[in-house]
Amino acid sequence: MIEIKDISYSFQKGNANETKALSDINLSIKSGQFVILIGSNGSGKSTLLNSLAGTIFPDGGKIIFDGADVTQLPEHKRCKWIARIFQNPLLGTAPDLSVLENFRLASLRTHSKGLHIGTGNKFREEVAKHVSALGLDLEKKLDQTVGTLSGGQRQAMTLSMAVMDEAQVLLMDEPTAALDPKTAELFMSLAKRVIEERKLTCILITHHLKDAINYGNRLIQMSEGKIMRDIQADKKEKLTQNELFAWFRE
In this predicted structure, the answer to whether residue 212 has a pLDDT above a threshold of 90 is yes
CA angle 140, 143, 146 (to 5 degrees): 95
Is residue 192 one of the residues assigned to a domain? yes
Is residue 134 one of the residues assigned to a domain? no
Judge contact between 169 and 2, C-beta under 8 A.
yes
CA angle 39, 33, 248 (to 5 degrees): 15
Is residue 130 one of the residues assigned to a domain? no
The arithmetic mean of pLDDT across residues 107-122, rounded, is 60
In this predicted structure, the answer to whether residue 119 has a pLDDT above a threshold of 80 is no
Residue predicted with more confidence, 203 or 19: 203
Judge contact between 92 and 83, C-beta under 8 A.
no
Amino acid making up residue 110: T
In this predicted structure, the answer to whether residue 103 has a pLDDT above a threshold of 80 is yes
In this predicted structure, the answer to whether residue 182 has a pLDDT above a threshold of 70 is yes
Share of the chain above pLDDT 90, in %: 53
Q: What's the confidence (pLDDT) of residue 118?
A: 58
Residue predicted with more confidence, 199 or 249: 199
Is residue 178 one of the residues assigned to a domain? yes
In this predicted structure, the answer to whether residue 115 has a pLDDT above a threshold of 50 is no
Q: What's the confidence (pLDDT) of residue 125?
A: 87
Q: For 43-82, write each residue's pLDDT tens digit.
A: 999 999 999 999 999 999 999 999 999 999 998 888 888 9
Residues 6 or more apart whose Cβ sits within 8 Å of residue 33:
201, 202, 217, 218
Residue 7, classed as helix, strand or coil, is strand
**Residue 230: band (very low, low, confident or very high) from pLDDT cuts 50, 70, 90:** very high
Is residue 82 one of the residues assigned to a domain? yes
Is residue 128 one of the residues assigned to a domain? no
Q: What's the confidence (pLDDT) of residue 104?
A: 85
| DSSP-derived secondary structure for 97-137 | SBHHHHHHHHHTTTS---S-----HHHHHHHHHHHHTTTS-
Is residue 158 one of the residues assigned to a domain? no
- Number of domains within the chain: 1
Q: Tell me, what CATH number does 180's domain have? A: 3.40.50.300
Q: Which residue range is the domain that position 205 belongs to?
A: 2-96+167-247
Burial of 51 (0-12, 13-18, 19+ CB in 10 A): buried
The arithmetic mean of pLDDT across residues 86-94, rounded, is 81
Find the range with the poorest average confidence among 25-29, 130-134, 145-149: 130-134
